[in-house]
Structure 1
Amino acid sequence: MRMMNMNAKHLGGMLLLGLLSACGGGGSGAGSPAPVTPPVQSTPISSSNFMQVAAQAYNSGDALSGQGGSGSNSGGGASMNLNSKVGDIYNAVKNGAASLPDLNNRMTDNCRDGGTIDLNIRLNASRSLAAGAQIDLTASNCIDSGVKFDGGASMSIAAGSNSFEYGLNFQNFSLSSATERFVLNGDGKFSSVGGKVVQSGSAMYIAYYKNGALVTERSLSNYSMSNGNSGYQISGVMQFKNQALGTIPVTVSTEAPFTPGPQGFPISGKMVISGSGNTKITLTPTGNQSVKVDFSDKPDGSITLTQTVTFDQLKAMQ
């Protein structure tokens, strides 16, 4: 058997796992909404829902990076950390690049438990997986260990030496298990330089369903998230939608980076979530694994309500 064929299944599996991690999972299949669809009617932030809105904004970083799961951040289940997987993806394809016969290599392989995955690996002019190379995949009823993948995803390499930079694009990419379904549409750019990871993009749509019911939809535009020694930041225009909240558009900015303490929870920083009218939510870590959430709906910005909860409690409120 040619080495190209031997590598195909391994490369396909690594790509699926890593590409999914960009947002915690895939989605519901054909007919998915386009990214950042303006709402027909939006729900204002109020004293009755501001904690849920705060949780949605705070959890958006986890939804983008695919960290954690089980409902505490991106909506639950089947998520993996992008930053821990992307190196595996890159190295898996890079190590097999020398054996690929052409600059443009197409291959189809059977998935472990049924279905197929098509791969198109385009090396750069130097026949390597470095700046200028691209990987495209299309999964069709691809089943692996009880998880089914469908749809397309692309990874374009911009740099790959001491720093690493690549772009991702999801085309109606879906992931489903017996009880959960995810959907992704949109683009992202990812870079890692000197221990700082930055994710950004023009539009990304992320949805999570459980037992057939919609749990949360997120649409992000002009978004950016960074995480490194100086702390965590996220910004962008976001729209959250679920049965409890309805549809709420907000603008999120991290005015001071969330700096983690010894136990991993932020101990300093400031996140501001601005809604329609005069509504504003401010998240300020208190330094004891907790966060103070201030809500204002007054023209002068004075505080209407304040709640202090642990970060774990906040994350579960979405």
Structure 2
Amino acid sequence: MQNDSVSPRITPEVLAHLRTWEGRSETLDDSITAAPIRGLAAALDCEDDATGNALPPLWHWLYFLPRAPQHELGADGHPRLGGFLPPVPLPRRMWAGGRLQWRAPLRVGDAVQRVSRIASVTHKAGRTGDLVFALVQHEIRRGETLCISEEQDIVYRAPARPGDTSPPPTPAPAEAAWSREIVPDPVLLFRYSALTFNGHRIHYDRPYATAEEGYAGLVVHGPLIATLLLDLLRRHAPEAVVTDFSFKAVRPTIDPHPFSVHGQPSEDGRTIQLWARDHEGWLTMQATARIR
């Protein structure tokens, strides 16, 4: 995705063109291998035996990675759009949330296939400019067995402008049954970017993140925060099997300040409210997990 200094307005004609991507699909094949599991376990400071055990929830994001050649990358480090994803002429892209269901486990040695589809492309005029939303659906199978169904909400935003105001922050809940503090230093952000082959410069290039995309520092990956939320659940309920998970990014988490992840089970213990809070006490991600 290229970061042009002037972003065209999303006219009805532009939106109509982008909507021709609706229904487009791609199929990727991969194998569940041990090395990425061991790498993420090291980055998250947890112990995971890569042999025999089911892949922890959300760790499938270590597979089906983008492999665009270097010459096909845009100025922001993302692959240029116009292939599977629509060529939205807005420079800032964010994975804003998603919903997942686990039907069957994945394990090291499994040959897997992911079928992805662009379900919809919609437009909204926000306070700071145009917003385009792409809903992407994935199905991951092991042979004929459907293992994971996933929806991803991808948001494209207009460039940052002087004087733009952020939405008012939401205070995070003050009390939680489970809590853990995370220090998002550049090493952690680099390791997660490397493990997921994520070239987006907002996660490792401070001058780019601040000068070009208008952030106050390096941005902590939304998928990393979501993974840490379910890692918190696993630490406190290691025998639980996650069946459903939904999450929404509320506010960017910026280094180098520590942030924290929290969980609160329901009375029956089957539904877990999860959230992330920044160093100022603001809610940055909210999520719900269901377990059995």
Higher relative contact order (CA 8 A, sep 6+): 2
Per the normalisation by structure 2, the TM-score is: 0.27
Q: Larger C-alpha radius of gyration, 1 or 2?
A: 1
What TM-score, normalized by structure 1, do the two folds share?
0.25
